């Protein structure tokens, strides 16, 4: 058994990681969204928000790649934390591989001054029991929801959009594909920062976004992964501020799935149904821009009742068991 760092140029090992990822998905979340090799490689290198990250791969002489972990090391906020994702092929579980990866990740995190390891597991899953055995404490709950577009009448979405528009006088929708136009970078950063009052685990610092971070770590990460990204914003006519926004991405390697990114409404503009407005507009746009998309996946903190209500009105249904965050003090890991 060997644990070695994955290098982005090593496409053969990446393919092994993809095989492990898909095998784990087939067992742990058989109806979940697959991931293409390019997106997996981007995620291992950059995560979803461009933080410094590293991936380590466990191999055996007999089977090759049987597991890996990804360690995210935030460098702008939360400098005491490392975010960890461990995956082991189901055929090679219960042989100590997960524990070996966890101990290795703990050592790596400690070597760069991180004192907390954080992750996310499904309730009652093997990962949940694995985390508990390691001494991890549960945190905030969340759920994955899926919208089946094949069973969602277009008239239903149109009706919801019309209802939202009646409360959204004085706002204009603007949309774009790909990178954020320069004139919107700063204003979009303000809208993204509206997420700061979303439910969080205690002690977690919220991310401070500005135009450069949107360009480099938001749009830049999406471009590295080769995702097709769609953005819709609601601009307040009187001030020019972006009052609400939503983003959605499609992996060209798995084109039947859409992946909902952030939806946010700034505090001064809440109460005008802007969240529902931008999300219904996105679904209508997607029907023409990406007609092959069959399902959209999103996630919500269990305490975020407002966004959950919007998603349920659109037809999203809870997918699989709920999740919860977990944390363990890196120095106090139980073997």
**Model confidence pLDDT, tens digit, residues 159-170:** 999 999 999 999
| Average pLDDT of the residues of the chain | 95
Looking at residue 331, what is its pLDDT?
60
Contact (CB, 8 A) for 328 and 137:
yes
Compute the CA torsion angle 56, 27, 224, 207 (nearest 10 deg).
Answer: -80
Q: What is the structure's pLDDT at 329?
A: 85
pLDDT higher than 80, residue 334? no
Bigger pLDDT: 31 vs 275? 275
- CA-wise closest residue to 114 among 80, 85, 83, 84: 80
Contacts of 144 (CB under 8 A, 6+ apart): 32, 297, 298, 299, 318, 319, 320, 323
Rounded percentage of the chain residues whose pLDDT exceeds 90: 93
The fold for domain 153-314 equals: Aminopeptidase (3.40.630)
Residue 335: pLDDT band (50, 70, 90) is: very low
What is the rounded CA–CA span in Å between residue 161 and residue 285? 12
pLDDT tens for each residue of 183-221: 999 999 999 999 877 778 888 999 999 999 999 999 999
pLDDT, tens digit, for every residue of 54-77?
999 999 999 999 999 999 999 999
**pLDDT band at 156, cuts 50/70/90?**
very high
Looking at 3.40.630.30, 3.90.870.10, 3.90.1720.10, 2.60.40.2220, the CATH number of the domain 2-142+323-332 comes to: 3.40.630.30
Structural domain spans, the chain: 2-142+323-332, 153-314
């Amino acid at each position: 058994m060997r644990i070695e760092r994955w290098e982005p140029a090593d496409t053969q090992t990446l393919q092994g990681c993809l095989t492990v990822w898909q095998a784990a998905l087939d067992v742990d979340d058989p109806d979940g969204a697959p991931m293409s090799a390019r997106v997996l490689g981007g995620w291992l290198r950059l995560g979803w928000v461009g933080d410094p990250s590293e991936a380590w791969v466990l191999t055996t002489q007999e089977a090759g790649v049987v597991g890996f972990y990804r360690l995210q090391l935030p460098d702008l906020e939360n400098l005491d934390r490392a975010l960890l994702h461990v995956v082991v092929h189901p055929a090679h579980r219960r042989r100590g591989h997960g524990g070996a990866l966890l101990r290795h990740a703990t050592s790596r995190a400690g070597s760069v001054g991180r004192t907390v390891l954080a992750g996310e597991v499904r309730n009652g899953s093997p990962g949940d029991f694995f985390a508990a055995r390691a001494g991890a404490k549960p945190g905030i709950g969340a759920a994955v929801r899926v919208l089946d577009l094949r069973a969602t009448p277009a008239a239903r979405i149109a009706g919801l959009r019309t209802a939202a528009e009646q409360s959204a006088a004085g706002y204009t929708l603007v949309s774009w594909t790909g990178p954020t136009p320069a004139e919107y970078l700063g204003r979009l950063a303000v809208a993204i920062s509206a997420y700061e009052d979303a439910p969080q685990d205690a002690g977690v610092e919220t991310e401070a976004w500005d135009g450069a971070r949107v360009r480099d770590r938001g749009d830049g990460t999406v471009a590295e992964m080769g995702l097709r990204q769609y953005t819709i914003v609601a601009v307040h006519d009187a001030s020019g501020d972006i009052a609400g926004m939503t983003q959605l991405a499609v992996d060209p390697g798995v084109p039947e799935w859409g992946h909902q990114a952030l939806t946010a409404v700034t505090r001064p503009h809440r109460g005008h149904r802007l969240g529902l407005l931008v999300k219904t507009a996105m679904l209508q746009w997607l029907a023409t821009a990406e007609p092959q998309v069959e399902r959209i996946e999103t996630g919500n903190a269990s305490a975020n009742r407002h966004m959950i209500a919007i998603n349920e009105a659109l037809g999203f249904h809870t997918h699989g068991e709920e999740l919860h965050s977990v944390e363990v003090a890196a120095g106090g890991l139980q073997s």
